[in-house]
C-alpha cells in the first residue's frame, strides 16, 4: 500500500510517496499505486464535506461532527478494505487525508480549499512546514473512524456533542467496543435529566470510563475479559449495574 502526501510551496505543488511496505530503493516504487488511490481520497473528502453541510447546516460544525463525517466517509468509501490499504496501518491514510485537507489539492492538482473545513480550528492553524512532521496529530481521524460505528445522533447524545468526552472514553482501549457505548447510552437515558446534564459535562464525563475500569481493566486481573466476547444483553446489564452502583447513590 502506498499513499501520496501532497504539499505546495510558493505555488509549486509536489507529492511524496509513503508506504509501509519493504522497499528496495525508495517508496517511489509504489507511485503508480499511490496515484491510483488518490482520486478515491478526493471522492471521500467530497463526501465528508457534503455530510458536514447536511448535518451542520449554517451552524459552525463542532469537532465531534467533523470527526464523525470523516469516519463515516472513510467507511462508505471502502478504501480501508481495498487492496491498496489492506494489511497496512491506518495512520498512512490519515497522513494522506491530513495533507489533502491542509493544502486542498486534488489528484489532478486543482484546489479544493473547502476541505480545510473538515479539520478542527487548531489543526487549520498548523504551519504548512509542519504538516509533514510528527507534530501533525492524527488522533481525531482515528476517533472519527471509531465514532462512526454509531449513528451520529447516538454518538452526539452519548458524548453531548463534545470531542473531549469522546477522547476520554477512547483513551480506555478496553472500553472502545461499540456495545459498551450503546450500553452507556442506554444507562444515561434512564437517568433523571439533572443527572444526565451533570455527567455529560466535560469535567464529569471522565468518571464514567473510570467507573467501568472495574469491569474492563487495562491490565492485571480481569484484563482478558473483553466486551466483544460478551453477549450484548449481558454486557448491557453489567454496565448498568456498575454505573448504578457508582452514581445512583449520588442522586438527591
Structural domain boundaries in the chain: 2-139, 150-250
What pLDDT, on the 0 to 100 scale, is given for residue 82? 77
What pLDDT, on the 0 to 100 scale, is given for residue 30? 86
What pLDDT, on the 0 to 100 scale, is given for residue 84? 67
What pLDDT, on the 0 to 100 scale, is given for residue 171? 94
Taking the model in full, what pTM does it have? 0.89
What pLDDT, on the 0 to 100 scale, is given for residue 130? 59
> Which residue positions in the chain have pLDDT lower than 50?
127-129, 131-136, 252
Cα separation, 141 vs 229, whole angstroms: 26
Phi first, then psi, for residue 7 (nearest 5°) are -150, 165
| CB neighbourhood size of 67 (10 A) | 27
Amino acid at each position: 500500500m502506498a499513499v501520496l502526501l501532497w504539499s505546495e510551496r510558493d505555488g509549486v505543488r509536489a507529492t511524496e510517496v509513503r508506504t509501509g511496505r519493504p522497499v528496495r530503493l525508495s517508496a517511489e516504487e509504489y507511485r503508480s499505486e499511490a496515484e491510483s488511490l488518490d482520486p478515491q481520497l478526493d471522492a471521500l473528502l467530497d463526501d465528508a464535506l457534503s455530510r458536514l453541510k447536511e448535518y451542520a447546516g449554517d451552524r459552525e460544525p463542532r469537532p465531534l461532527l467533523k470527526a464523525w463525517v470523516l469516519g463515516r466517509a472513510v467507511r462508505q468509501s471502502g478504501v480501508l478494505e481495498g487492496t491498496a490499504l489492506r494489511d497496512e496501518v491506518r495512520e498512512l491514510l490519515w497522513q494522506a487525508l491530513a495533507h489533502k485537507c491542509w493544502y486542498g489539492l486534488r489528484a489532478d492538482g486543482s484546489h479544493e480549499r473547502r476541505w480545510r473545513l473538515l479539520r478542527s480550528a487548531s489543526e487549520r492553524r498548523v504551519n504548512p512546514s509542519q504538516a509533514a512532521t510528527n507534530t501533525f496529530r492524527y488522533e481525531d481521524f482515528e476517533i472519527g473512524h471509531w465514532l462512526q460505528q454509531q449513528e451520529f445522533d447516538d454518538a452526539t447524545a452519548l458524548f453531548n456533542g463534545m470531542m473531549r468526552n469522546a477522547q476520554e472514553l477512547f483513551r480506555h482501549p478496553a472500553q472502545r467496543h461499540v456495545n459498551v457505548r450503546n450500553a452507556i447510552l442506554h444507562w444515561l437515558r434512564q437517568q433523571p435529566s439533572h443527572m444526565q446534564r451533570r455527567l455529560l459535562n466535560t469535567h464529569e464525563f471522565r468518571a464514567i470510563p473510570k467507573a467501568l475500569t472495574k469491569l474492563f481493566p487495562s491490565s492485571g486481573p480481569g484484563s482478558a475479559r473483553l466486551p466483544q466476547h460478551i453477549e450484548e444483553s449481558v454486557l448491557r446489564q453489567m454496565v448498568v449495574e456498575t454505573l448504578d452502583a457508582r452514581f445512583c447513590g449520588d442522586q438527591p
